[in-house]
Every structure is written in C-alpha cells, then in structure tokens.
A and B are shown apart, each in its own frame.
Chain A
Amino acid sequence: ETGVTQSPTHLIKTRGQQVTLRCSSQSGHNTVSWYQQALGQGPQFIFQYYREEENGRGNFPPRFSGLQFPNYSSELNVNALELDDSALYLCASRPADQLGEQYFGPGTRLTVT
C-alpha cells in the first residue's frame, strides 16, 4: 500500500465534456504530481503541485488544470475532452523533505467516447 488513493476507479465521458479526477495522499505528502498513461505506453508527466501551487508542467495544454488542498488531497480537471484523452490517470506524492522517490496511486481509467 502506497497510501495514495484515487477516485473514481473508472469513468466514461463523451467528447467535449469536462471531468474531475481526485487523489488523496498521506499526511505530510505536500508534493503531488499527475501523469497520463495511454494504453501500452509509459506515464507522461502532466504537472506537479507543491503547497497548493503549480510549480511544473509537462507538454499538456491549458485545458488540463489542477488543484491541491491543505488536507493533502488534489484534483485533476480536464475540459473539452478529446478522444485521445482516454488513458489511465495517475497521481503520485511524496514528502517534500524525502530524498526517495514518489509513490503512485492505483489510477483512474478514463474512456472518452
């Protein structure tokens, strides 16, 4: 168990809709990052948050946005869904003062039809 939980497990949306995915980290894990993993590929970094502020973003458009809350939970929001957004979305977290690497949640599988 990594202590990182995500909800929902699966969901199906229609092209053009908006979606919110949720992540809950362990107490003290004040850095969180989100990744997109298409089928058969490695995860791709979307963005990271530290102390409720975005402080790094990968090659993803602005319609991917996020929030981090003081209770170590976070959200990934995707607007104007496209078919290519179908993927496993992973949340990962770690304490800011830990030199070791981050731990991933089980992911949310999003299907866009």
Chain B
Amino acid sequence: QKEVEQDPGPLSVPEGAIVSLNCTYSNSAFQYFMWYRQYSRKGPELLMYTYSSGNKEDGRFTAQVDKSSKYISLFIRDSQPSDSATYLCAMRLNNAGNMLTFGGGTRLMVKP
C-alpha cells in the first residue's frame, strides 16, 4: 500500500462545476500538506499549502485537511477548461527539509 493514495481518474466535469479532489494517507506524522497542478509535460505548480488541520481558501480554490481521518481535499469552484490538468497532493514531515511524499495524481478534464 502506498503512503499517499489518490484516485487517478480521469475526472470529467462540465465547465462551472464544483470539483472535489481527495487524498488519503497512512503516516499520521505528516504536518504539511500541499496541492500542485501539473499540465502535460510541465513541472508541478504549487496551488495550496497548509500546515496541520483546517481549511484554507485562495480564490476559487479551497484546501481542507482532516488529520484525524488522514484525509485531505481540494475544492475548485466555477471550474474552467484551463483547470484541466493533473492534480497532485503532497505531504511533508515536520523536519524533513524538502522531502515531499506525493500521491499519484488525479487527472481532471473540464469540458466547455
């Protein structure tokens, strides 16, 4: 079993829909949680960064962390075709420097 699990999709939604992307993890020591967006053949782009549990909102994006359930989510409101990409969740231990543990990514397609 992988340390971070993510449904690979693809997830196909109509433009304007609310998108929910999720990850589960097994290591309760993870403290930092991130969401990256990756377009085809490009490097990952940091979207959201959260420390410990709680919610964080940035524009159309909301990140939620539930450490008790070992479950994190990313919500995208008013989805656009330009949001079509692979979304990667990543996590880090408190004293792990740059070492991120990634999920396998969920491919999202937003259809006009």
How many B residues touch the partner, as a band?
A: 20 to 34
Could you tell me if A48 and B98 are in contact, using CB atoms closer than 8 angstroms?
yes
Contact of A94 among B4, B88, B90, B98 (CB under 8 A): B98
Q: Check if A24 is an interface residue, CB within 8 A of chain B.
A: no
A42 x B104 contact (CB < 8 A) = yes
Q: Using Cβ atoms and an 8 Å threshold, which residues of chain A touch B41?
A: 88, 107, 109
**Cα distance A44–B92 in the bound complex, in angstroms:** 13
Distance in Å: Cβ of B58 to nearest Cβ of chain A: 13
In the complex, A90 Cα to B8 Cα: how many Å? Answer: 21
Q: Point out residues on B near A: beta carbons under 8 Å.
A: 4, 6, 8, 32, 34, 36, 41-46, 49, 88, 90, 92, 96-105
Residues of B within 8 A of A109 (CB): 41
Q: List 9 A-B contacts (CB under 8 A).
A: A4-B43, A40-B104, A40-B105, A41-B104, A42-B88, A42-B105, A101-B34, A105-B43, A107-B43
Task: Return A44 CB to nearest CB of chain B, in Å.
Answer: 7
Q: Point out residues on A near B: beta carbons under 8 Å.
A: 2, 4, 6, 31-33, 35, 40-45, 48, 50, 55-56, 58, 88, 90, 92, 94, 100-107, 109
